[in-house]
A and B are shown apart, each in its own frame.
Chain A
Amino acid sequence: MDKLLNDFSPGLFVVQTILLLLLIFIMVKFAWKPILNSLNEREEGIQGALDAAEKAKREMENLQADNQKLLQEARLEREAMLKEAREMKAQMITDAETQAQTQANKMIEQAQLAINNEKKTAMAELKNHVANLSIEIAEKVVRQELSNKGKQLELVESMLAETTLN
């Protein structure tokens, strides 16, 4: 202990104190302060960049999801449109078919009607004609037969019978 105390140099202690104080002040001013500030700045910068990257990544994901959704929607829409078109086509075909059918039916009906009318007219004409003919025949016959009473009656009767049969 005595030797240790003897070794202790108060002068060195004073010099060391002054030098250490100087060193601390110089180092803090010219080295540690700028270094620590720069390190902090850099760390904050890195943190900021990481956060920004994370944000960008999330935005990208959102965007991608949106795109996916849009694509899905477009696909659905396309399918719906195609389906609609197909349906429309079928509809049009059936519509045309039914329309044609009704048209044809109508035409047939009209034709039949016309035929019937023609037929009726023809018949009527024929009847008139026949009637006229008959009357003419009858007239002639009557003129001929009127001379013979019995024959007359017979004739009338037979003629009547004929006409009803017709």
Chain B
Amino acid sequence: MKIFQQSFKFLAIVSVLFFSTASFANSSTEGGGQIDTKKEVEDYILHHIQDSHDFSLFSYTSDAGERKHVGFPLPIIIWTSNGLTTFMSSKFHHNDDGHVIVEKNGLKFAKIHSKIYELDATASEVSFDKDHHAENAHKVLDFSITKSVVGVLLIGLLMFFWFSRLARQYKKKAIPTGFSRVLEPLVLYVRDEIARPNIGEKHYRKFTGYLLTVFFFIWILNLLGLTPFGFNVTGQLAVTACLAIFTLIIYTTSGNKDYWMHILWMQDAPWWIRPILAVIELAGTFIIKPFSLLVRLFANISAGHIVVMSLIAIMFTLKESLGVVGATTLSLVLSFFITLIEVLVAFLQAYIFTMLSALFIGMAVAEHDHDHAHDEQGQEIPDAEDVRGDFI
């Protein structure tokens, strides 16, 4: 009962937060805003895939023909030619094509396709060339608390709340109760199925913290992306790149002598082939491995979002050929099953990312020449560690 009360309290706080900030809801006077045509659907999906500077829950057109956006604005923090500048995203009035100019610190800013541009000193509005690139404005370094950052913060707090509670429970009892009992097997799963077999019994402990953090971070953010709040954090290249680079740094800094010898001067190959192999190995270690990590996660999650949204959009795009009922039914059935698959993909991508990270770390710390047990003829008996070493 206590847990129910707690979660109820949590829900209450969240909803109060939402609805109090929802009062910041903005109304913009720009026409349309409704999504009907194929082009609009495409734009909407692409827009969703991008990070956004405000947290919009939904929008509707009021009786007066005004487009109302319900959600809350997020702070924009940018590094401009005049230094750090901050203001709320509500100043852009949900405009995303550079028509609303915000003046701050004596500089003019516009938001075009979810990017903040600083206008040149002389310009008063953005002019576009024929490729729709801004001619008289340039992008600024954007440290804003965007929707993705909100997602990261939210998940970070949630993870801290959940797992520190699990940690505290162990002080009082051997077996956790309530929600922590669900978390414990997940922690054990990552430790026993991902960290231990891939890194090896001797070194796994040191890296398990990172792997656990990354696993739950990706998994929960992937799942959050499936909620109607419309987060797409793990579908941001910057986020996946950051994760991949963390893994790269960890396996590069913890690599042992064997590992570097294997990369730079392959022992088993003829000498003239070794430099060529070194180039290939270096490329594999520093470019291919992190790229495979970052692109796989980014592409899978983005693709999932695009597919689910496209299937939902069948409701509008096929309305004329199938009728309202037909299009809606088709859309619901298809998007339901794809969402089920996406739930699986959410876990799978977190698993694959963590697994591959563990594997790369395991390759870097594997010991190929350690003491072996000897049989009676004095020959070495290969143990499991060797087999693993040969395999990876």
Q: Which residues of A contact B260 (CB under 8 A)?
A: none
What is the predominant secondary structure among interface residues of chain A facing chain B? helix
Which residue of chain A has the shortest Cβ distance to B216 in the bound complex? A27
Q: Which residues of B contact A27 (CB under 8 A)?
A: 159-160, 163, 209, 212-213
Interchain CB contact under 8 A, A35 and B217 = no
CA distance A149 to B368 in the complex (A): 161
Q: Mark B217-248, 1 if CB is under 8 A from A, else 0.
A: 10000000000000000001111011101100
**A9 close to chain B: CB less than 8 A:** yes
**B198 close to chain A: CB less than 8 A:** no
Out of A4, A8, A34, A42, name the residue touching B167 (CB < 8 Å): A34
A-B contact pairs, 13 of them (CB 8 A): A9-B146, A10-B142, A14-B143, A15-B149, A16-B148, A16-B238, A34-B167, A34-B171, A35-B187, A36-B187, A36-B191, A38-B167, A39-B170
**B50 close to chain A: CB less than 8 A:** yes
Q: A7-B50, A10-B141, A19-B149 are in contact. Are A32 and B213 (CB under 8 A)?
A: yes
**A80 close to chain B: CB less than 8 A:** no
Interchain CB contact under 8 A, A12 and B149 = yes
Q: Within residues 144 to 169 of chain B, which ones have a CB less than 8 A from any CB in chain A?
A: 144-146, 148-149, 152-153, 156, 159-160, 163-164, 166-168
Nearest 5 A-B pairs (CB), nearest first? A38-B170, A31-B163, A11-B142, A13-B238, A28-B209
Q: Which residues of B contact A6 (CB under 8 A)?
A: 115
Out of A23, A31, A36, name the residue touching B164 (CB < 8 Å): A31
A-B contact count (CB 8 A): 124
Q: A23-B156, A23-B159 are in contact. Are A8 and B237 (CB under 8 A)?
A: yes
Measured CB to CB, the residues of A under 8 A from B are: 4, 6-17, 19-20, 22-24, 26-28, 30-36, 38-39, 42, 45
What is the predominant secondary structure among interface residues of chain B facing chain A? helix
**B344 close to chain A: CB less than 8 A:** no
Measured CB to CB, the residues of B under 8 A from A are: 50-51, 78-79, 115, 141-146, 148-149, 152-153, 156, 159-160, 163-164, 166-168, 170-171, 174, 184, 187-188, 191, 205, 208-210, 212-213, 217, 236-239, 241-243, 245-246
Interchain CB contact under 8 A, B163 and A35 = yes
Q: A32-B212, A36-B208 are in contact. Are A15 and B217 (CB under 8 A)?
A: no
